[in-house]
């Protein structure tokens, strides 16, 4: 499932850079698109604002098919305090903008599966695909608004995975 998880993340990262090139994060001295995989970063004491955080949850396997299919639930978490120039009073608009970005990053609902352990990455034989996102209600915590979207990500296991 790791190749599918990597492929999903890289697709969302590439799509975000196209959708909103201004949404970035400074991570380990490098500016990159504002999306990170929680399990691949140092632990956060608090989630970063105005950045998407991918959190992998459950895993399922269906081996009753011609090829084994795996499914993993991915939660895309994000939060904002709005902008300083508006004193945070635009936090609802900022969260709505992030909602739209999540929706746009997830379309279309498939991508080719790649092996990112090779340089350059190698295309595999199958695709990674997912369901429409299920958005949670907005959570207000003092001056911060947050939400998450959950997506089931599917992939067929290939030889050697």
Rounded distance between C-alpha atoms, residue 101 and residue 45, angstroms: 25
Domains of the chain: which residue ranges? 2-156
CATH number for 2-156: choose from 3.40.50.620, 3.40.50.2300, 3.30.2000.30, 3.30.70.270: 3.30.2000.30
Rounded distance between C-alpha atoms, residue 106 and residue 100, angstroms: 10
Give this prediction's pTM. 0.92
pLDDT digits (tens, 9 = 90+) for 49-103: 999 999 999 899 888 877 889 999 999 999 999 877 776 678 889 999 999 999 9
**Which residue, 28, 50, 49, 29, is CA-closest to 40?**
28
- Cβ atoms of 138 and 126 within 8 Å: the answer is no
Rounded distance between C-alpha atoms, residue 1 and residue 128, angstroms: 10
């Amino acid at each position: 499932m790791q190749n599918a998880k990597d492929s999903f993340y890289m697709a969302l990262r590439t799509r975000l850079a196209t959708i909103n090139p201004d949404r970035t994060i400074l991570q380990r001295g490098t500016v990159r698109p504002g999306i990170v995989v929680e399990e691949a970063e140092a632990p956060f004491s608090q989630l970063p604002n105005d950045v998407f955080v991918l959190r992998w949850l459950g895993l399922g396997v269906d081996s009753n098919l011609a090829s084994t299919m795996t499914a993993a639930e991915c939660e895309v978490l994000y939060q904002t305090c709005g902008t300083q120039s508006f004193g945070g009073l635009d936090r609802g608009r900022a969260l709505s903008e992030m909602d739209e970005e999540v929706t746009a990053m997830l379309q279309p609902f498939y991508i080719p599966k790649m092996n990112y352990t090779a340089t350059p990455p190698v295309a595999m034989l199958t695709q990674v695909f997912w369901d429409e996102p299920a958005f949670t209600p907005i959570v207000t915590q003092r001056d911060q608004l947050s939400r998450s979207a959950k997506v089931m990500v599917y992939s067929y296991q290939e030889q050697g995975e």
